[in-house]
Amino acid sequence: MAAPGKILQVGDKVPILRYQDVSGKPGTNTGRDDYIIVYSFADRKSSKKLMDVMEESQLELVRAHPRLKLIFFNIADLSALPGALRHLIGPVLEKMNDYAMKKMRRGYEKAGVNLDPRAVELVFIPDWKGELLRAFGLPDACDFRVFVAVRGEIAGVFDSNTPRMGEKFCRLFDRLAHPK
């Protein structure tokens, strides 16, 4: 696991995560070596900018590389919320996730992209205490951050200040899909 304040970089090992997704289902990021995993971190304010970049990039990625096995861990920084509000916020997040999934699938269908649920997995994880952020060395998600990992190692890092992030994100996957 990253030392406090040391944000993971290309070449670093991905920490083992244990989590509960938005519906309360427990999970882990282990045993996924045949997948390319995208970890995106955002809070309420940075999530809109992240989604603006990632919706288009994900569509382009799946269109360009339909055989890649992908997992998108979308991690919401909710550590600033009082714990007493969890029981109220949890169901709202689940409804928001359902809506976002339906919207994404409609967008893929409209673009003529068939999303294979065996090849592409989307997991929305509320990070109530900031533990997942700290595991990646992040103090918060005021600026969104995206990590791409292959076989447990960071292969790419992007954030809200990365110029032409969508283009660079897709180029990374072009390289990962066709290693030399």
| pTM for the structure as a whole | 0.88
Q: What is the DSSP letter of 180?
A: -
Residue 55, token pair as written in the block? 């919706």
**145-150 and 153-159 strand pairing:** antiparallel
> Helix, strand, or coil here: 100?
helix
Q: Residue-wise pLDDT tens for the chain (180 aa)?
A: 444 569 999 999 999 999 999 888 999 999 988 999 999 999 988 988 988 888 888 888 888 887 788 889 999 998 887 666 777 777 777 777 777 777 777 777 777 777 676 778 889 999 989 999 999 999 999 999 999 999 999 999 999 999 999 999 999 999 998 776
> Helix, strand, or coil here: 53?
helix
Q: Which CATH class is domain 18-177?
A: alpha beta
d(C-alpha 84, C-alpha 71), whole Å: 31
End-to-end CA distance of the chain: give it in Å, rounded: 29
List of E strands, the chain: 18-20, 26-28, 36-42, 70-77, 120-127, 145-150, 153-159
pLDDT of res. 3: 41
One-letter identity of residue 3: A
pLDDT of res. 28: 95
One-letter identity of residue 156: G
d(C-alpha 65, C-alpha 79), whole Å: 35
Domains of the chain, residue spans: 18-177
30-55 pLDDT, tens digit each: 998 899 999 999 998 898 898 888 88
pLDDT of res. 153: 96
pLDDT of res. 84: 65
